[in-house]
Amino acid sequence: MAKKIFIAASGQNIGKTTISISLLHLAQKKYGRVGFIKPLGPKPTTLRGHSVDKDAALIAQVFDLSKDLRYMSPVVVYPDTTRKAIDGEVPFAELEERILRAFAELEKKCDFIIIEGSGHPGVGSVLKLSNARIARLLDAPVLMITGGGVGNVIDTVFMNIALFQLEGAEVRAVMANKLYADKRDVTLDYLERALADQPFSVVGGFDYKSVLANPTLRRVSRLLDLPLHGNRRDVGRIIQHVQIGAASTQRVTEMLRESTLLLVTSSRDELLVTLANLYQMPEYRALVSGLVIPGISPVSTITQRIIDRSNIPYLRTQKHSTAELYRIITEDVSKITAEDTEKLDLIRSLAEERLDFDALVGLFDQG
């Protein structure tokens, strides 16, 4: 019988997939055969001819599990699925059976399985397949991922755990994630004391790192639907700051911080040329990640030649204003993809540094 952990979350953008990746990485060091399943997948995509959830596709690529892909995402939810469910066109019993069959196949092949839920615990209720219902269906103990506060985390935990209790699923541990490093110990102490009378343990996840939520150049290119020109080797580089190049050329260069994406209008020849030249200097390469060049006016011929010769990564658009671009880029919540090797390497490193895998698995081996 495979060891199994159901990863739930108290809401969106809590870090559920990041924790799943971390635990699978650590599990591969301990167990011979690891597996993953996203029983209910609300984000459809296609990988190797299979219609699967995006998270299942990500895990299959990162951990070389494509041979199990047909079992990793048994129920995929499409935009019209909710309507069909309410209209009585969706056979609920068949969906449940699909999940049970897929999981049974993985159990035959694996020593350790991560089961990842979808969104908050109630997601899937319209299909009679909420996270809580699926956890009970698979008889899987639950690790609930929450944010990193105190009062709001406690309130959210109780609200979400009520559904698991209603379904008869057991929450074994609550993991406070995205903790502020300078408040980590204090936050965990308060949570442990506040929840001491509950039948689950409190464990710490990762400290908050904005870099994991920041976009890469590839992500910005896709977000804006613009081709990336220049140095393609930097396509996976993480953008840590976004800066509007509205000040003087000297002031803009003085304000540069690590891995800055600069938004510079097409008429700012002096600034564009300066940044292109700085990109070629080793001491500035870490500061300048690339350019987004908006503006109706064409970039002058000589400036364009200098930009191209420098090989600085850049995107060119006449569709958006600088302010619109800044809003779109900074408001985007970047999800991890299999191509984000820099982020994936960071997650693996953080997992080894921060998570006590043996202690966590021990909680899920109990009774």
Band the pLDDT of 154: cuts 50, 70, 90: very high
Same domain, 237 and 102: no
Least confident of 59-73, 256-270, 323-337: 323-337
Same domain, 200 and 284: no
Question: Quick one: three-class SS letters along the chain?
Answer: CCEEEEEEECCCCCCHHHHHHHHHHHHHHHCCCEEEECCEECCEEEECCEEEEHHHHHHHHHCCCHHHHHHHCCEECCCCHHHHHHCCCCCHHHHHHHHHHHHHHHHHHCCEEEEECCCCCCCCHHHCCCHHHHHHHCCCCEEEEECCCCHHHHHHHHHHHHHHHHHCCCEEEEEECCECHHHHHHHHHHHHHHCCCCCCEEEECCECCHHHCCCEHHHHHHHHCCCCECCHHHCCCECCEEEECCCCHHHHHHCCCCCEEEECCCCCHHHHHHHHHHHCCHHHHCCEEEEEEECCCCCCHHHHHHHHHHCCCEEEECCCCHHHHHHHHHHCCCCCCCCCHHHHHHHHHHHHHHCCHHHHHHHHHCC
What is the average per-residue pLDDT within 42-57?
Answer: 92
Task: Please name every residue paired with 314 in a beta bridge, in sequence order, or none if there are none.
Answer: 229, 291
Same domain, 185 and 62: yes
Same domain, 158 and 262: no
Same domain, 195 and 315: no
Least confident of 172-181, 243-252, 327-336, 350-359: 327-336
Which tokens hold the place of 180? 């502020």
Same domain, 233 and 248: yes
- Integer angstrom CA distances of residue 136 from 129, 181, 367: 10, 35, 16
CATH of the domain at 175: 3.40.50.300
Same domain, 41 and 158: yes
The residue range of the domain holding 108 is: 3-209+337-365
CATH of the domain at 257: 3.40.1390.20
Q: Count structural domains, the chain.
A: 2
Same domain, 73 and 108: yes
Tens digit of each residue's pLDDT (9 = 90 or more) over 263-316: 999 999 999 999 999 999 999 999 999 999 999 999 999 999 999 999 999 999
Same domain, 130 and 273: no
pLDDT at res. 1: 74
Band the pLDDT of 366: cuts 50, 70, 90: low
pLDDT at residue 81 tops 80: yes
Same domain, 361 and 310: no
Tens digit of each residue's pLDDT (9 = 90 or more) over 206-215: 998 877 888 8
Tens digit of each residue's pLDDT (9 = 90 or more) over 120-130: 888 999 999 99
Same domain, 128 and 253: no
Q: How far apart are CA 287 and CA 284, in angstroms?
A: 5
Side chain identity, residue 23? L
Same domain, 287 and 181: no
Question: Contact 123/12 with Cβ under 8 angstroms?
Answer: no
pLDDT at residue 12 tops 90: no
Band the pLDDT of 6: cuts 50, 70, 90: very high
Band the pLDDT of 27: cuts 50, 70, 90: very high
